[in-house]
Structure 1
Amino acid sequence: MKVKVCGMTDLHTVLTAIQYGADAIGFVFAESKRRITVKKAKEIIQQLPAGILKVGVFVNEEKEQIEKIIEQSGINVVQLHGDETPQFCSYFTVPVIKAISIETEKDIAEIEEYKCDYILLDSPKGKYRGGNGIVFNWDLLKKCQLRGRNIILAGGLTSENVVSGIKLVNPYMVDVSSGVETDGKKDPEKINNFIKAVKEYKREDIKC
């Protein structure tokens, strides 16, 4: 099971997360309390192992600006967390994560329209698109419509509930941000506990 830690803003915490076993690091370039500059993201990314996914998070950004940030920062995955269309998501040469906010079964049906490399399932929109620390209704996913897709489970995950989410959703990856923070800052101990909980879980085959 892979782990993405999102909303990272400093090299020390990023390297600590990777040491604990993080597979992907998220850098937020959209409006957020975790927003990072392109310059700072580049400084961090230049010092990261090649095998780590460096994800840039965008919300309703113009394609030209996203491409510019890809080139300038060194991110190798784009996460689109706004109202981007399926056509817009097909424009990029790097892998794309499309985030879908889940409130009803209708939102799950929307996933079929997107042929992206990854689909991220997140909680309903709050003040920001993502990172709001709210768990959505996982029971909406029980019918297994998502087999064959690289699903990333997000939204209010913590070391205490992440295994329950994995058991129910059977995702390719889990994504955490606020769930590993203390007073709005990434907490190395919480990052360690979260990744440890995920990596120690032995996934069982799920038959739909």
Structure 2
Amino acid sequence: MVRVKICGIKTWEDARSALDAGAHVLGFVFAPSPRRIHPERAREIITRLPPFVTTVGVFVNEPRYSLLEIASFCRLDVLQLHGDEPPEYCRGLFHRLIKAIRVKDIGSLDLIPKYRVDAFLLDAFVPGQAGGTGHTFNWEIARRAKELGSPIILAGGLTPENVAEAIRQVRPYAVDVSSGVETNGQKDPVKIARFMEAVAGA
């Protein structure tokens, strides 16, 4: 089954709802965002998680020393770079890395060969927003990205209603959802469960 990351975890209740529904990965946002979480709060949640749950810290143009400090303090498994971090930023971090690519058009994929990371997350490009936009993009571009050989995580406007079709079209390594499982800016356990059911049925 395609792996699922529920991003923008802010409370233990968010985490529990995601895990109860069968999510594999939890994302914690440490960048300016309505979903931003303080490192101390993230650590409290992470220390309560059961084995085999992967935790991802989401950062946007974070200074390297600060990124590494938060990663160590929170015991993050993976670091997601969602800003304009250049390839040299990634060198020597000694963590598993996901690089987000904000997709404008097919030319956005030219960035992929320049990075040595563990996976790429493809998100919709919206001016002035690093992520969590609720917008989709042309999934054919994501299919083309798979041909470059790296694991592809599909994000951008995924919901319980469209994720199955997205998976059928792209066959990504994983899907990433945040606003698509929220109601009034809060994680919605019913939407999370419906999202997971749609993924399982794809």
Q: Residues 57-72 of structure 1: matches in 2 within 5 Å? A: 57-72=58-73
| Matched position secondary structure for 2:28 | strand
| Paired position in structure 1 for 2:181 | 180
| Paired position in structure 1 for 2:15 | 14
The answer to whether the 8 A contact 1:59-1:83 is kept is yes
The answer to whether the 8 A contact 2:136-2:156 is kept is yes
Identity, in percent, stands at 44
Residue 23 of structure 1 deviates from its aligned partner by: 0.6
Which deviates further from its counterpart, 29-38 or 142-151? Answer: 142-151
| Paired position in structure 2 for 1:91 | 92
The answer to whether the 8 A contact 2:30-2:36 is kept is yes
C-alpha distance 52-106 of structure 1, shift in aligned 2 (>3 A) = same
AA aligned to 2:109 is: I
Aligned residues: 201
Q: Output the TM-score relative to the length of structure 1.
A: 0.92
Residue 190 of structure 1 deviates from its aligned partner by: 0.2
Q: Residues 1-208 of structure 1: matches in 2 within 5 Å? A: 1-143=2-144, 145-201=146-202
| Matched position secondary structure for 1:5 | strand
Rounded Cα–Cα distance in structure 2 between residues aligned with 1:78 and 1:144: 21
RMSD (Å) for aligned C-alpha atoms: 1.3
Rounded Cα–Cα distance in structure 2 between residues aligned with 1:143 and 1:78: 24
Rounded Cα–Cα distance in structure 1 between residues aligned with 2:46 and 2:142: 34
C-alpha distance 8-93 of structure 1, shift in aligned 2 (>3 A) = same
Residue 128 of structure 1 deviates from its aligned partner by: 3.0
The answer to whether the 8 A contact 1:152-1:172 is kept is yes
Rounded Cα–Cα distance in structure 2 between residues aligned with 1:145 and 1:54: 24
Q: Output the TM-score relative to the length of structure 2.
A: 0.95
Residue 105 of structure 1 deviates from its aligned partner by: 1.1
| Matched position secondary structure for 1:55 | strand
Residue 144 of structure 1 deviates from its aligned partner by: 5.6
The answer to whether the 8 A contact 2:61-2:82 is kept is yes
Unaligned 5+ segments in structure 2 are: none
Unaligned 5+ segments in structure 1 are: 202-208
